[in-house]
Structure 1
């Protein structure tokens, strides 16, 4: 994704009839937003007398979340580029048998590359969740709702990434390899959904008790 674009411009492109940016890009953006919200809560914790004992930990988490946010942004850009390569592969000539083979190989290769991007988004979501969990327990408790939104966003990012992994790997000709990769992605996604749902429930209870 182009970080120099305004939100309005991005939304206009997203709602157009162009396939990019699409769901994979949005999933990565959700991840970046989640990490950035987590960073915000770290900043709202650092420097507060009440949270001096966790200041160093919050500083470390802030740096890790910043790195994750940058990674998500980079993956969003990669998602667009990977999709374009798949489309280019489909446009290759298929008049001769040799051309058909080359085209088929190019489609398979580019589809694997396209699936690898959301798979990486899913793994990055897995990195972020423990950070958000720590922030929810030790960070500024006045910002619990912000942590909750971050967790909801990382949940959306994970599910969005999984769906994009699924649609790309399902298109592969090597069905056994596709089956293994889809199963791995599904295991990770189910794990993340369980963790995020539990965290959201805990946060809701905390907010109600305050």
Structure 2
């Protein structure tokens, strides 16, 4: 079997890293305290050594960078290898991967969608072990009643909220400042 390789790539949230085997991404590491720490942690997770990404992996890094720059990029084209992830986790990742940029779901909604209603906590645990964050956008999964829920990346919930903000996602059902406004006004028109 081919040995995994890894590379750093810069994003709006900091230096991320990914590892691949062949043309499939096997791991993504969100920013740590430094680029070196990010790459080292990824290496510990999957034994990857730095390398030059093949074209499909380089395209994946460009797409993830664009997504974190606020572009509504669909990452479903990225080939991932989830290794020996259990069937339950694979089902969670599949549903999570289908959440579009700027949208969110709750842990409970995912549990219900995969046929395990009432297993929101298990969904959260599976997402806490997500090997490919950003590609499987676990940051788009929230707790019930508008609670943000946890996030296992460096920076925790603050990182999750930053990623959601970059995607212009709503994180609660509370009305926004301009909700219900009748915009735009025509030139010279006055709202009464």
Q: What TM-score do the two structures reach when normalised by structure 1? A: 0.24
Q: Kindly indicate which of the two structures has a greater share of residues assigned to helix.
A: 1
Q: Kindly indicate which of the two structures has a greater share of residues assigned to strand.
A: 2
Structure of larger gyration radius: 1
Q: What TM-score do the two structures reach when normalised by structure 2? A: 0.25
Structure of greater relative contact order (alpha carbons < 8 Å, 6+ residues apart): 1
